Structures are given as C-alpha cells and as structure tokens.
Structure 1
C-alpha cells in the first residue's frame, strides 16, 4: 500500500486486519490528512477497533496516592520541583485511603484501578505500604490493579508482580529526539528501561504519550512506532493540559481534529492494543470527545492527578449515546 493524497482509509484498515504493518509514511499521511477526511479516518479506525474490541469501553480510575514533592523537572507536570502551581502536597496515602479509592472505582463502573504516585521512584517503605493495600483489594474485589509509581528496580518490579499488580504504567511521553526539551533530570532511555523491567517481571506493560508538547508530526509518528516496538499492552494517549505555573504554561498546539487523527494513527499503528483516551481529553477534544471512542477503547473516568475530568455520569452517557457498552467490574 502506498500513501497518496487520495488514501482509501477503509481499504488501509482492512489491509491492517489482513496483516499489513503500517509504514511511517502512511502514519504521517493520516496525521496530515485534510480535515474533511476526518470522518472517513475515524470510520476506518473503527473498523480495526471493532474487530478487536467490539463496542466495549474499558473504564479506569486514578487515585493520586502521593502528590507533589517530586524532584523531577518534567515540563508538563504541576507536581514537578520546577512547577509553581498550587497543588496539594502529601506523602503516600495510607492503606485505608487506597482501599476507599478502590470502592469508589467500583462505584464509577471502572474495571481498572490506577494507583499513581509522584516522585522519581518509590522507597521500600512506600512500596510495602502500597502492596499491603493491593493485596487486600485483590482479595476482596475483582478490580484490576495498575500501578504507576515511577522508575522501577528489578526487585520492586518483582514485588509488585508477586502482589498481583496486573499492569504497570510508565509513559515514554514523547519521541527520543524531543525528550531533552521536556525533561533534564532523567532520559528517554531511563523510561524505556523501566518498561522493559515491567515486561520482564510478568506485569502487563502500559506506556503512552502526551501530545502537544512541541513535537513535530514526524516525532509523534516515531513515538507511536517506538511504543509498537516495545510491544506494550495498553497505550494512553494524553493531550497536553497546559497548566499555569509549569514550564509549558500557555503552550497550545492542539485542536480536536488534530487530536482525533492522532488517536486514529495510534490505532492503525498498534491495531491490537488497548488505546486509552487520557489526560486532557476534555479540554482538547471538547465537543468531539465521543468521536475518539471510534478509535480508542478505553478512557479514564473522573479526575486525573491534579486536574479535573468530567463527571462519571457524563462519560457513561457518552458511551451509551454511541451505542457502546461499559466493561463493568464484577464484584
């Protein structure tokens, strides 16, 4: 298949289902397609999404288990040491608070509970406290547990796997060529190393991006293919929520149409993987949020780390209005 200005997107989708591996040139053509092609692109992405996931939508809920106090200088993050953002700062939550979050996840119809902590990496004591809560959640519910606690050693990865953590998230965030523009306290390779440790431990690897941080279209394509090469199971696609007080304050390169083409591109490049509409979807996709689910099969429900999401009832209604179904967590 070749890329031209007259791409047959549905033919390309059926080719992917028949085993065609999208090329970088084809992926770039999706991003650069004219806006009038948007509905054709989303329909083609839906052909792939429906083949692997039907009309099911997976809901995930985040708990910010440790807020602020982070020594890293990631330019997008309000919890960073360089951010001048009035966010709540607190040490790792106790077991009871984490368990209460699990109950709330079930109330929101989430099947996956995401325990997220700021900081470079967890201390031994912090990890042990989280693991104690995870074990009780696993014993008393059927929630799947995703942890996102920073960089991991092999020992810590093994402990989390043994405790029953299903999935571990560690985003690449942006292409290697753009990484030094976003962060200087760690490297892109450090992030890849943690994803590889997750895979080696037996946990399901989750790694995605934050688009809108000054990356070129080619760099966005490159990171989609880097994630493909890592063979992760879940890919969160975040959209920069430019937070006052962060180095990326005021940065706004996105519009809903660009975001949707990117989500579709990730589906074409990684056809079998969970694609999750993640942070910033409400303010960047705006009135076109529902179209994202024609390519993605997963969303966060409720708030994010330091920013608000929409009400769970709005997400449930959006899914229902599409004629889709929630993958509910069984008690």
Structure 2
C-alpha cells in the first residue's frame, strides 16, 4: 500500500516534488488511487476550498491553420470533419460569449487558429473585448491567438485582455515528434512575452500523445519554470483525419494520476480540467474535481463537450460550488463520445452551454 502524505505535505508547503516522487504518483496502482486522490484533494481544498471556476471557449477562427501540430483537428492537412470559418465579427463574438457567461463562466477564452496573429488581428479583437467588459464587468478575458510578435502582448493588455494562453503541450525533448512548423522555444517565448506585458500567463499540457512518464514530468517542470497562473490539463482527442488518430492510451485512472501530479507541482495555481475530460475520465469526472479547481464549460474548439447543465449538476452533486465572476480564484475506446463540434459559433445551431 502506498500513501502520498509526503507529496501532499510538500505541496502544502509549496515545495516542488522530486522526479522520483512524481514517478511514484504516475506509476501507482489502481489500489492506491483513492489514497492519491485524497492526498491531492487536501492540497486543492487548502488553496481553493470547494470553489470551481468555470471557463468558456469561443472559437473565433476555426480551421485553416498553416501549422502541422499532430494532435490538432485544425492543422494543415487535417481531414477531420470540423466546422471551418474565418474571424467572427465583434457582435458574433459577444453573442457567443453571452451563452457561457449566463451559464456561470467567470472567464471567457477567445481563441483563433493560426501560427500567430497579425497586428490587424490584434486590433480586431479590441472591440469584442470592450463589448464583453462593458456587458459583463468582472468576467476575465483570456486570448489564445498563437505565437506573439514583439509588442502584441502589450496591445492585447491595452485592449483589456486579462490573460494569455499558450500551452507547452509536451516536453522539449519530444516536441519535434508532435510538431515541425515551430519549436518548443517559440512557445516558451510567447508565454514569457505575455508575462512581461502584465497578462496572466496560462499554459498547460496535452496527455495521451504516446508520451512517457518522464516526458510528462519534464513538461510539468518546464511549466513550473514559466510560473503560469493557470495550468490547463488536456487529454488527447484523437480525431480521425489527424496523425494521432486511433491513439487511445488513457484510462480514467491514468487521467486522475496525471491531474494529481499536476496538482502536486502546482499546489496554489489554477489547475484546469480541459479538453478530452468527457471521453477519457467519463464517470470519474466528479473525482477529478477533487484535484482540479477549474473546468471548461460546454463545448471546446472543434469538439462537443458535456452539456453545460450537466457540468453544473456534476459540480453541485460532488459537493462543490461555482466560483462567481470577480472571486479570487481506457477500459474501452469510446469513439461514440468523440464528436466534431457542429453547433455554436460558425453554425446555425445553438451552443452547448
């Protein structure tokens, strides 16, 4: 029997775990799973009590990306049957945002596919951000537009953007295995630019891309060096038509171990349960809330998520409360749960909020 009291105590003291301690977490058995969740939950409750922060994604520009990230349904050459469209107009963006905010989201994430924004793209975001801020005071706006050029982070801050997301996704050593059109260092540089401009840095990873335990640990340590305020943990959605199609390596138990390792590395940082949670955690999603203190509500960029009302019921049933705006903050492959988004922004159907 393995206990994880040592890892929990170190996290409560804000001490970074060792590689061996994280390996112990990631290689632990199913018999030890509830002890692990309990230990990580102690840390989560210390810093975030029973609050769950809701985040809502708006895909402002879908598909047509020139980058070749192997995990992405929007990549160059992707055959995934996703919705594709160019930039939403400011009123369309605000309309999309309204669904998430009315459902309880205290942060909206404005995302656009592509290598990175032009200065014109940055300028076109300003009216949408201003409209969101006017209509929903206290709601945070996070932008995710790809690699930033000099001065763009400052312009985003001046436009009213609160945070910037750019995930590291995997370890530096393995990065060329999942993308060849830009480098790991480019992602690090973008997060650093966001930080230096005063934007809240948001950066996380994607698990389930054939990485090793050491790759996951390297990614967590690299993220720790960046010092993000929020860390989204995504689980690969292996869409048909992408290089990683058919990659179903995750089990619900494995996902919980990855979340626990993330929590021990980031005890007092927002750990967000992100893309792929429904298809990999499945019925164990409520357990994940005892580790992560933040989730995405409803749909994702190109995939359909759990209905927003089901997310809210799950949070309440698990004994948690939704954080308000302005508050400090594989047993079997389930192809039936992996569906491309065909509703919300860019379509004639209402979103799943």
TM range (shorter): over 0.9
CA contact (8 A) 1:14 1:47 kept: no
SS at match of 2:117: coil
Structure 1 residue 246 corresponds to structure 2 residue 237: no
SS at match of 2:179: coil
Q: Which residue of 2 aligns with 1:9?
A: 4
Q: How much is the aligned-residue C-alpha RMSD, in angstroms? A: 1.1
Q: Which residue of 1 aligns with 2:260?
A: 264
Q: Which residue of 2 aligns with 1:227?
A: 223
Higher helix proportion: 1
Structure 1 residue 197 corresponds to structure 2 residue 193: yes
Give the alignment partner of residue 216 of structure 1, picking from 212, 233, 244: 212
Q: Distance in 1 between matches of 2:16 and 2:119?
A: 42
Give the alignment partner of residue 93 of structure 2, picking from 92, 98, 108: 98
CA contact (8 A) 2:238 2:245 kept: yes
1:256-295 mapped onto 2 (5 Å cutoff): 256-295=252-291
Alpha-carbon shift at residue 154 of structure 1 (Å): 2.7
Q: Which residue of 1 aligns with 2:167?
A: 171
Structure 1 residue 27 corresponds to structure 2 residue 37: no
Alpha-carbon shift at residue 124 of structure 1 (Å): 2.1
Q: Which residue of 2 aligns with 1:118?
A: 113
1:102-181 mapped onto 2 (5 Å cutoff): 102-142=97-137, 143-181=139-177
Superposition TM-score, scaled by structure 1 size = 0.96
Deviations 1:182-207 (A, max 9, x none): 00000111100100001010000000
Q: Which runs of 4+ in 1 moved over 6 A?
A: none
Structure 1 residue 299 corresponds to structure 2 residue 295: yes
Alpha-carbon shift at residue 232 of structure 1 (Å): 0.5
Give the alignment partner of residue 329 of structure 1, picking from 310, 325, 332: 325
Q: Distance in 1 between matches of 2:18 and 2:169?
A: 21
Superposition TM-score, scaled by structure 2 size = 0.90
How many residues align? The count is 325
Q: Which residue of 2 aligns with 1:60?
A: 55
Deviations 1:3-54 (A, max 9, x none): xxx5431343123213432111101110001111011100100100000000
CA contact (8 A) 1:38 1:257 kept: yes
Structure 1 residue 318 corresponds to structure 2 residue 314: yes
Unaligned runs of at least 5 residues, structure 1: 1-5
CA contact (8 A) 1:62 1:300 kept: yes
Q: Which residue of 1 aligns with 2:336?
A: none
Unaligned runs of at least 5 residues, structure 2: 327-353
